[in-house]
Chains A and B, each alone.
Chain A
Amino acid sequence: DAKTTQPPSMDCAEGRAANLPCNHSTISGNEYVYWYRQIHSQGPQYIIHGLKNNETNEMASLIITEDRKSSTLILPHATLRDTAVYYCIVRSPYNQGGKLIFGQGTELSVKP
């Protein structure tokens, strides 16, 4: 069962930052927060992951609260091609299974 809660849908204006929240209040100390997205009819695509510290890569930034019970994925300048379903996932280390269990995700619509 998914251990995360996300809003079912969000809108964002093109060129603005998209901030996607995720609650994971039951996360364990050794579990990671992963974000994937699925653009219509395509396979899911990895975005970013983190454990405790905030992370940034060429696609997005991940902000994890100090108590690790929630996180926010930030797409700094959303484009129309960022329209997709975004999944926040809590994942155990690989030596404890490491399964990616997807929840319902947030359907992000980027509008002109």
Chain B
Amino acid sequence: DTAVSQTPKYLVTQMGNDKSIKCEQNLGHDTMYWYKQDSKKFLKIMFSYNNKELIINETVPNRFSPKSPDKAHLNLHINSLELGDSAVYFCASSQRTSGRAGGELFFGEGSRLTVL
């Protein structure tokens, strides 16, 4: 059983399109995240939801809109895609109250988005 699963794994699309990436975790965790890894391999946090409530919202263009229908799902919708959005997007989950440190993050395998 995959703990954190993302779909699709690969996504190729044209500039200006709207696309979504879905994430599901079966670990029973209460917190989920989206990270972006660009071509230089930097991993940057974008968003975090705890019990469906947005708790981290980094400086991300408002073309990116996360949606958490329930604790086990966190989807990422991107409007008006631009070339610079090309990256690997990782979803992660953790149990926030798992110790004072906040619990380790479990990452999905990533979704590689290519904007042409």
Contact = CB atoms under 8 A, between A and B. Distances in A.
A43 B108 contact: yes
Contacts of A49: 101, 104
B106 A98 contact: no
A43 B90 contact: yes
B101 A94 contact: yes
Interface stretch (B11-19, B65-73, B74-82, B92-100): B92-100
B103 interface: yes
Nearest to A46: B104
Nearest to A107: B41
B107 A44 contact: yes
Interface of B: 4, 35, 41-45, 48, 56, 90, 92, 96-97, 100-110
Given A94-B97, A99-B48, 13 more contacts: A34-B104, A43-B4, A43-B107, A44-B92, A44-B107, A46-B104, A49-B104, A85-B41, A91-B102, A94-B103, A99-B56, A104-B41, A104-B42
B102 A98 contact: yes
Return the 10 tightest CB-CB contacts between A and B, nearest first: A94-B102, A43-B107, A98-B102, A46-B104, A102-B43, A32-B101, A44-B107, A94-B96, A93-B100, A43-B109
Contacts of B103: 94
A46 B105 CA distance: 7
Interface in A57-101: 85, 87, 91, 93-95, 97-101
